[in-house]
Amino acid sequence: MDRIYLDYTADTPADERVLSVYTETARACFANPNSAHSFGISAKNAVDDALMKIAELLHISPDELIFTSGASEANNLAVKGIAFANRRRGRHIISTFLEHSSVSGALTFLQEQGWEIDLVNIQPDGRIDLAHLQSLLRQDTVLCAVCAVDSELGTVQPVQEIAEILKNYPNCRLHLDATQAAGKIPLDLSGVHTASLAPHKFYGLKGCGVLYKAKGVVMEPLIHGGASTTIYRSGTPDAPAAAACAKALELALDEFDSRLERTAALHRSLRAALAENPRIRINSPESAVPHILNISVSGIKGEEMRRLLDARGIAVSVKSACSVPNTPSRAVMAITHDRKNALSSWRISLSHLTAEEEIAQFLSVLNEIIAETG
Ligand code: PLP
């Protein structure tokens, strides 16, 4: 039996068209884009072309983009960079229980350095409680960090409503972790000050991330020394990775409707089949994105289920790939308030590439495991 990959939230296979752009650019533009000679200028032009294309696709300006090594670095740069740069204005930050560890970990680091962190309550539908957010905001709040789509449950946050509330707090910057949103749901960056994404989540390559930083937002760089295409991230820019990222985003947006429709159809049939088993609890709210479906099987820990499925050739995830093992999912706890259920939770993630037969095979294996552990 072929193995079945149902972990597209952790990573996606690179599209052949993205790989072609990468290899072509790597051959043609091998020089350092920071070099002043003609080889360097060719490489710099490739980076600039990529920035221009990404900016056009996101409806922003190319000088508002910073390439990083991935979304974790982009999140760290935004969260710590904004906190450090505004330390004299205030040391209060608001975030949520749904954040990826690259945001929550950066916040814990800041907390240890004296910043005060408050987390907004999550409603049963997975959206943050806007009235609670309003009540937490203070004049010394310098940052509100929210994920557009969380990686465990797939809940979608009302970004524009959050931005609207923050308009009354001019010292407060809005950071959006758009890693699971980019290319998957429509992304409106108006009112957002910084936003992170990574092409390996939308059929691009790993080792590359993008941070959007709106004009006028002050941020301390994390890496010091060396001039580069941006003062916010020194080091040699990666022209092939930049070009590949632009291609991946272009494809994701060009094929947006067909990818979404296909994934949503798979999601609907999977959700309906899972709902028939009384031992299965579906944790992702109905309004979650179709590529993420978080469930729990009563009596089986999430990690045990992941292992049992893996032994039969099926790849799923428990929490996100980068979180602390053997602890209950913070995101599932936040919406179900049930620790046992959170410990049993795990994530199936789908793609437009997922075949119907793969879903059928997965369901049959899952039912077998549930019957054996009954
Ligand atoms: N943010 C979210 C919501 C994610 O899902 C992930 C990866 O799973 C990241 C950030 C980190 O991305 P990267 O692996 O590119 O550092």
- What residue ranges do the domains of the chain occupy? 4-13+255-365, 16-254
Instruction: Give the type of residue at 77.
Output: L
Q: Residue 320: its pLDDT value, please?
A: 55
**Residues near 65 by beta carbon (within 8 Å), at least 6 away in sequence:** 51, 54, 55, 210, 211, 212, 213
Nearest CA to ligand 1 atom 16: 72
Q: Residue 374: its pLDDT value, please?
A: 74
**DSSP code of 149?**
B
Contact yes or no for 22/207 (Cβ under 8 A): no
Ligand 1, atom nearest to 149 Cα:
3
Structure tokens at 147: 């994920």
Give residue 36 CA to ligand 1 midpoint distance, Å.
34
Nearest CA to ligand 1 atom 8: 10
Quick: pLDDT tens for 101-110: 999 999 999 9
Q: Tell me what the mean pLDDT of segment 205-209 comes to.
A: 98
- Asked if pLDDT for residue 143 goes beyond 60, the answer is yes
Mean pLDDT of the chain: 95
Give residue 37 CA to ligand 1 midpoint distance, Å.
36
Give residue 279 CA to ligand 1 midpoint distance, Å.
30
Nearest CA to ligand 1 atom 7: 10
Q: Residue 323: its pLDDT value, please?
A: 57
**DSSP code of 170?**
T
What band does 27 get if pLDDT is binned at 50, 70 and 90?
A: very high
Q: Which residues line ligand 1 (CB under 6 A)?
A: 10, 70-72, 75, 100, 102, 147, 151, 177, 179-180, 198, 209, 320-321
Quick: pLDDT tens for 220-278: 999 988 767 788 999 999 999 999 999 999 999 999 999 999 999 999 999 999 999 99
Q: Residue 1: its pLDDT value, please?
A: 65
Q: Residue 226: its pLDDT value, please?
A: 75
Q: Residue 211: its pLDDT value, please?
A: 98
Candidate from 322, 329, 349 with most ligand 1 atoms within 8 A of CB, to mutate: 322
What band does 213 get if pLDDT is binned at 50, 70 and 90?
A: very high
Q: Residue 225: its pLDDT value, please?
A: 84
Give residue 273 CA to ligand 1 midpoint distance, Å.
29
Nearest CA to ligand 1 atom 12: 71
Contact yes or no for 346/284 (Cβ under 8 A): no
Q: Residue 142: its pLDDT value, please?
A: 98
- Asked if pLDDT for residue 321 goes beyond 80, the answer is no
Candidate from 79, 99, 102 with most ligand 1 atoms within 8 A of CB, to mutate: 102
> pLDDT > 70: what percent of the chain?
98
Q: Tell me what the mean pLDDT of segment 185-207 comes to.
A: 97
CA dihedral sign of residues 270, 100, 66, 23: negative
Give residue 100 CA to ligand 1 midpoint distance, Å.
7
What band does 322 get if pLDDT is binned at 50, 70 and 90?
A: low
Query: How far is the first Cα of the chain from the last one, in angstroms, to the nearest whole number?
Result: 25
3 state SS of 357: helix
Cα–Cα distance for residue pair 185/372, rounded to 1 Å: 38
| CATH no. of 4-13+255-365 | 3.90.1150.10
Quick: pLDDT tens for 88-104: 999 999 999 999 999 99
Structure tokens at 83: 């906190």
Q: Examine the residue annotation and report whether 29 is marked as an active-site residue of this protein.
A: no
| CATH no. of 16-254 | 3.40.640.10
Which comes out higher in pLDDT, residue 326 or 278? 278
Candidate from 175, 180, 245 with most ligand 1 atoms within 8 A of CB, to mutate: 180
